A and B are shown apart, each in its own frame.
Chain A
Amino acid sequence: MTGRLPSAVVEEVQPVELAPQSLVNRLHGWITTVDHKRLGIMYILYALVFLVVGGIEATVMRIQLIVPHNNFVSPQVFNRMFTMHGTTMIFFVAMPIVFGFANYLLPLMIGARDMAFPRLNAFSFWMTAFGGCLLYFSLVGAYGLYGAGNAPDVGWFAYAPLTSQTFSRGHSTDFWILAVLISGVGSIGGGVNMVATILCLRCPGMKLEKMPLLVWMYLVMAVLVLIAIGPLTAAQIMLLLDRYLGAHFFDTQAGGSAVLWMHFFWIFGHPEVYILVIPAFAFVSEIIPVFSRKAIFGYPIMVAATLAIGFVSVSVWAHHMFTVGLSPSANTFFVLSTMAIAVPTGIKIFNWLATMWGGKVHFQTPMLFCIGFLFQFLIAGLTGVMLSSAPFDWQLGNSYFVVAHFHYVIVGGILFALFGAFYYWFPKMSGKMYNETLGRLHFALFVIGFHLTFDSLHIPGILGMPRRVYTYEPGRGWDMWNLLATIGVIFQATGILVFAGNLLWSYFKGKSAGSDPWDAWTLEWSTASPPPAYDFALIPSVRSRRPLWDLKHPEDPDWRYEQ
């Protein structure tokens, strides 16, 4: 070991033994913490709770739709269910979970001791958490005309003028506005923190082109957060002004524009898809190389493709609006920009395949989920290309085909990558190894359940079934597919139970994982599991993208080959 390498690793720092703290003290420690690792874990646990809540809402909808003209819930309840499900899953599951992983991983992967602004970090978390609680407080607090609480029922994209005082009386829509607004403040804080951390706190030797791909991808994602959340926040404030101070931005009865809301919402909404999927790309880009035992193929192209996706993703929003009667030239432009995104996305898929090519692929649970991701994301991308063809979208838009498509992206793509990330970094976060058999069982159940539900849902969309209907007519060829989709829920729910059981059991009873269970190459694996509060006893310095590879293979280090 020569040069600057040895300082990269300090093994097993022994913490000073302290007397065990009381529960109150431990809780106090968590609530007042500014440690990026604890905040990261809190983001993730918070998101998992809401994942279960959002999953229950989805289950209620699937039970209602199991047969035509079902009466399991009233239309009012069903409409609240899909509004709450969408809002919860996007703002209070997907966002906090990707922020949680960012919080936990970014400082560890760039060799820093914390995020750039630890207090802002805690503030961001508590804002997000407060937003979620506010949304659910509407169930008891949103006194409508009838003196009973109710949840918002305007849909997660809350098209005007359904959100105006005329059509949405009571306060449920206000709770929705404030919940999204406040969690947006948290997201912006998180975005600022990530950009500052990545740009300013990298350890010696980690130039931009030596950052792990995950860090690059999170940098692009964080910039997108800063671009996208602003318009959403502005729109929510404008809507509040409409509702209470007599503004008429979206009030069509007073000359306002319903289409203006759509523009605002989707200028946020489409970059949002990439805010969620780029972290999924990031996890896959870390896991596939380690489990194929090869360096990522085409690192510079992967970075370029991510930047390209980031740029193009802010110019595609109106593909959500092909049916609102835009001019032919506007439609044509958004077809082109949307289809263009397929090119950098395709490059990524090919690079992941090329990383596996010629490697030795290990099939532990994290890799299984990544292979599931590749397969499902391929299909999600292809149905996305179909929807990007505006005339095809005039048929498929707002149908169950769209529901199937974006669940393929969010569940089949993002959630599968997230599960992979959970199993991959769980040993680092907890210091314990998960149970591999249960992990594989979870994977099998989830693959079966996912495909039963979401493969099926493409068909009724093609056969004319619109989304957001609390019931449907018999005799339209939709019945069997809806039944299959509901059956799939059983498998997915069981899978989630196995996942939760596995994590809990492993946390208390699992075998010790050691600092580097996967024989991996990035800096987080060079410190103890779980890492000490200060992350690294000595700040490491690096010469390549895989500092631990260099350390483990001094005869053949990466820095000799990287341009």
Chain B
Amino acid sequence: MHFASALSPTNIFAPVSTPANSIFGLALFVLAVAAVIFTVVFSLLVFSVVRFRKRRDDDGREPPQIYGSNQVELAWTVIPTLIVVTLFMATARVIAGIQKPARPAGAVEVVAVGHQFWWEFRYPELKVVTANELHVPLSDPDHPTPTFLTLTSADTDHSFWVPRLAGKTDLIPNRVNTMWIDPHETGLYLGQCAQYCGTQHAKMLLRVYVQTRDEFDRWIQEQNQPAHTDDNVYAGQRIFETTACINCHTVTGTPARGRFGPDLTHLMSRETIASGSVPNTPENLRQWIRNPAALKPGCRMPAMDLGDQEINALAAYLETLR
């Protein structure tokens, strides 16, 4: 397991959650069957090519003509059929296990909405809205607290894929899908959009933070607070609220109520910006405000043609949104 996750933070063979784990088990079984079939057929191929090659001392006569054999044909119809039936039954079991889960009382509900090119996460019961960085509680196998995701899209098709937690499920506009995860280990799990959704599909990255229940509750509590206010950054706040920023972004407790872009109420609690593309540093934040297309060409946020002074004031305001 350690080796598998060291190979890649997004290795499908390093599962830490039940859906990913049961897929892993099924995958090993299917791979083993495939390996056996490969070995048998490949050996037959090599044997036929080597043993029946035309020899140097060939007499030029045609070999005996054999037109077929019903017994042999029957054998290589029945045996593959049995293999297929076995694989099918193993698969059907895992489909039912993942697609018809029990929903325990402590389950966390998250609505994930795909946007070009970022993720909106809403916790309807906990009254929290965030973006791109999903926080979920650790699930103890004895007292499971799985997270159930309701998936939909605001624009084009997307797909939620964090390989170590679960297989992917698409986010499709005008349709509601569901999936679930129950991570057994704390940590940061990476993923990204897995359905081509437009120009910046490649930088629609996903981060899932699995926290102990206490840490998660504390995070929820912080996210529940209204936006931090600070009179020292009034200039920046004024720029934010008088330019087009508020058409797309929300900062709770202020006139900014747009929903086209990520909620910025607790922007500074996030480790990355631009949907996981770059670390959330003051420098990156300024560069992003100045010209988003420089970091992410084709993204939906326009450059607002602000001067350096305005950008600094605006960034100073955003940096207070902890």
State the A residues within 8 Å of B (CB): 74-76, 79, 153, 155, 159-162, 166-167, 252-253, 255-259, 292-295, 297-301, 323-325, 327-328, 331-332, 335-336, 339-340, 342-343, 346-347, 349-351, 353-354, 356-363, 371, 374-375, 378-379, 382-383, 385-386, 389-399, 462-473, 475-478, 553, 556, 558, 561-562
B138-152, CB under 8 A of A: which get 1 and which 0?
A: 000000000000010
A153 to B192, alpha carbons, bound, how many Å? 20
- Tell me which residues across on chain B come within 8 A of A297, comparing CB atoms: 66-69
- Tell me which residues across on chain B come within 8 A of A395, comparing CB atoms: 12, 20, 23, 27, 163, 167-168
- Tell me which residues across on chain A come within 8 A of B62, comparing CB atoms: 293, 360, 553
B247-289, CB under 8 A of A: which get 1 and which 0?
A: 0000000000000000000000000000000000000000000
Closest to A79 in B: B199
Q: Does B13 make an interface contact (CB < 8 A)?
A: yes
Contact B34 A346 (CB under 8 A): no
A153 to B178, alpha carbons, bound, how many Å? 29
A258 to B158, alpha carbons, bound, how many Å? 12
Which one, B34, B45, B88, B194, contacts A399 given CB within 8 A? B194
Which one, A252, A255, A323, contacts B169 given CB within 8 A? A323
Which one, B68, B94, B116, B172, contacts A391 given CB within 8 A? B94
Contact A361 B23 (CB under 8 A): no
- Tell me which residues across on chain B come within 8 A of A359, comparing CB atoms: 52, 63
Closest 5 A/B residue pairs (Cβ): A394-B167, A464-B10, A477-B8, A325-B177, A469-B202
Contact B54 A360 (CB under 8 A): yes
CB distance from B195 to the nearest CB of A (A): 6
Q: List 10 A-B contacts (CB under 8 A).
A: A159-B195, A257-B175, A331-B95, A356-B49, A360-B52, A389-B91, A391-B91, A398-B159, A463-B10, A468-B196
Contact A335 B202 (CB under 8 A): no
Contact A378 B41 (CB under 8 A): yes
A256 to B9, alpha carbons, bound, how many Å? 38
A63 to B233, alpha carbons, bound, how many Å? 46
Contact A298 B99 (CB under 8 A): no
Contact A463 B11 (CB under 8 A): yes
Count chain B residues whose beta carbon lies closer than 8 angstroms to a beta carbon of A.
91
Within 8 A of A (CB), among B1-56: 7-13, 20, 22-23, 26-27, 30-31, 33-34, 37-38, 41-42, 44-45, 48-49, 52-55
CB distance from B300 to the nearest CB of A (A): 11
Which one, B45, B198, B202, B205, contacts A375 given CB within 8 A? B45
Contact A382 B66 (CB under 8 A): no
Q: Does B127 make an interface contact (CB < 8 A)?
A: no
Of the stretches B71-79, B128-136, B237-245, B303-311, the one at the interface is B71-79
Contact A361 B167 (CB under 8 A): no
Given pairs A253-B174, A464-B163, A464-B191, 12 additional interface contacts (CB within 8 A): A339-B87, A342-B80, A349-B41, A378-B38, A382-B37, A385-B33, A389-B91, A391-B22, A391-B94, A463-B7, A463-B8, A475-B9
A321 to B205, alpha carbons, bound, how many Å? 22
A349 to B203, alpha carbons, bound, how many Å? 42
Given A395-B168, A471-B202, A328 and B26 contact (CB-CB distance below 8 Å): no
- Tell me which residues across on chain B come within 8 A of A553, comparing CB atoms: 62
Contact A294 B8 (CB under 8 A): no
Q: Does B126 make an interface contact (CB < 8 A)?
A: no
Contact B66 A347 (CB under 8 A): no
Contact B11 A477 (CB under 8 A): yes
A378 to B173, alpha carbons, bound, how many Å? 38
A295 to B69, alpha carbons, bound, how many Å? 13
Q: Does B291 make an interface contact (CB < 8 A)?
A: no
CB distance from B113 to the nearest CB of A (A): 13
CB distance from B106 to the nearest CB of A (A): 24
A361 to B45, alpha carbons, bound, how many Å? 12
- Tell me which residues across on chain A come within 8 A of B96, comparing CB atoms: 328
Contact B175 A325 (CB under 8 A): yes
Given A167-B156, A298-B73, A391-B26, A374 and B45 contact (CB-CB distance below 8 Å): yes
